[in-house]
Amino acid sequence: MSFPRYAKYKDSGVDWLGEVPVDWQVLPLKHLASLKGRLGWQGLRADEYTEDGPFLVTSEHFANDKIDWQRCYHVSPERYAIAPEIQLRPGDLLMMKDGAAMGKLAYVDNLPGPACLNSHLLLFRPRNGQFFNRFLYYVLGAPSFVTYMVKERTGTTFFGISQESIGAFPFALPPIDQQRQVIDFLDRETAKIDALVGEQRRLIELLKEKRQAVISHAVTKGLNPHAPMRPSGIEWLGDVPNSWTVTKLGRSAFMQEGPGLRHWQFTDEGTRVICVTNITENGIDFSRLEKFISTEEYLSSYSHFTVRSGDVLLSSSGNSWGKVAIFEGDERVILNTSTIRLNESEGSPLIRDYLAILLQSNTVREQLGLAMTGSCQPNFGPTHLNSVMVAVPSRREQSEMVAFVGVETAKLDTLTAEAQRAIDLLQERRTALISAAVTGKIDVRWLAESEAA
């Protein structure tokens, strides 16, 4: 759908904003809104949280631009009372002003009880009823504000933006009645887009489940539906083909865990280090994170952790544990903490490619899930991996299964990629629509009025 422009425009006086509708104002945000952050105390220690009482909101509790009240902490009424200016009200807008989540927003559409902010958050409220916070929510989520934040942020590894810089942001403000029309239009249209995105994400989850089922069935039942079966004696395996051998993974493959490198050992260049973040479902990805140690230190202390082309890499810690990828590069790299490399060992009954799909199966993941240690950061190591029980077919059958799984998962991966492309296009559409509406590049008043009629 194409949208008309406003009848008349004027120069905004801001280069990146360009022209705005003639009856819109352009003022620094601080002239229109109050910006409040936690003062006096910078945060709570874990032992100061209470079982109940007023809510304490942090950026950890932002979910889909709202607050997930079920996950929020609680504080005592005395702590809550320290700063009345940041006690929340319905309709408040919150923003994370530093760290990895800088710019993350949450609109307070409901308030289940008294609530206040922790540090690192800013609270926005209109001055004198000049605008709706819901309109500001869309403004601060638009690309123009994101670009502004990047330009104004400070820091090298831990970025932040000052309250003063945010207050200086040029706010293009329509008359109050037009704001409501823009809000109604964007609420309705973004809800439609979000629903379509949700459908595509559910499809991706179903495709992932199907992919997992294809792999898991292949490595526990084989490809011949008529093969004679016998009990494996292992709960997670159930019945397996008669000719397969049930054994511990440690007896069938080579494995090595990365060393415990410290942050002060990393350098700007030298020998590359593979980290958990680099291991993805789509292979090894160094665009997400790059770390190195000096070549001198590599040669003197860590050369035995060198990753060889063809090694299977497995992430063994954190929320992304269990990711599997095969390293196929020529670059010299070594393992880091929480990464394990595996491959065929001498006389191994497992072939490399079969080992890679075996590690992705539910059978292996369920056993590792039960064996993992760590309450906050779950992790496992070669000791746990060694004890995982697997069913091993002949090498010929393994090759057949690798080929079969490769074909079947490629089909599912293609459908997943198509769904992800649809999500990307929908989100681009959403962003463009918001940007055009809140900067006055399109006139949506007629559509808001026609919907109301």
The answer to whether residues 415 and 340 belong to one domain is: no
The answer to whether residues 304 and 210 belong to one domain is: no
The answer to whether residues 150 and 57 belong to one domain is: yes
CB 252 within 8 A of CB 443: no
The answer to whether residues 240 and 322 belong to one domain is: yes
Query: Which pLDDT score, from 0 to 100, does residue 426 have?
Result: 97
DSSP 258: P
Position 13 in a domain = no
List, for residues 232-246, the tens digit of each pLDDT value: 988 878 899 999 999
The answer to whether residues 235 and 345 belong to one domain is: yes
Query: Which pLDDT score, from 0 to 100, does residue 404 have?
Result: 97
Q: Domain residues for 99?
A: 25-173
Query: Which pLDDT score, from 0 to 100, does residue 394 have?
Result: 94
Q: Which domain CATH number covers 98?
A: 3.90.220.20
Query: Which pLDDT score, from 0 to 100, does residue 23 have?
Result: 95
Q: In terms of residues, how long is the chain?
A: 453
The answer to whether residues 337 and 307 belong to one domain is: yes
Structurally, the chain folds into a number of domains equal to 3
Record the tokens describing residue 10, joined without a space. 């004027």
Query: Which residue's entry shows tokens 């820091």?
Result: 155
Measured distance CA(306)–CA(340) in Å, rounded: 11
Query: Which pLDDT score, from 0 to 100, does residue 154 have?
Result: 87
Position 18 in a domain = no
Position 15 in a domain = no
pLDDT < 70 stretches in the chain: 1, 39-47, 373-377, 448-453
Position 6 in a domain = no
Cα four-point dihedral sign 42, 43, 48, 53 = positive
Query: Which pLDDT score, from 0 to 100, does residue 39 have?
Result: 58
The answer to whether residues 386 and 399 belong to one domain is: no
Cα four-point dihedral sign 95, 101, 102, 103 = negative
The answer to whether residues 152 and 185 belong to one domain is: no
Q: Which domain CATH number covers 452?
A: 1.10.287
The answer to whether residues 87 and 179 belong to one domain is: no
Give the global pTM.
0.82
The answer to whether residues 166 and 193 belong to one domain is: no
The answer to whether residues 409 and 386 belong to one domain is: no
The answer to whether residues 349 and 318 belong to one domain is: yes
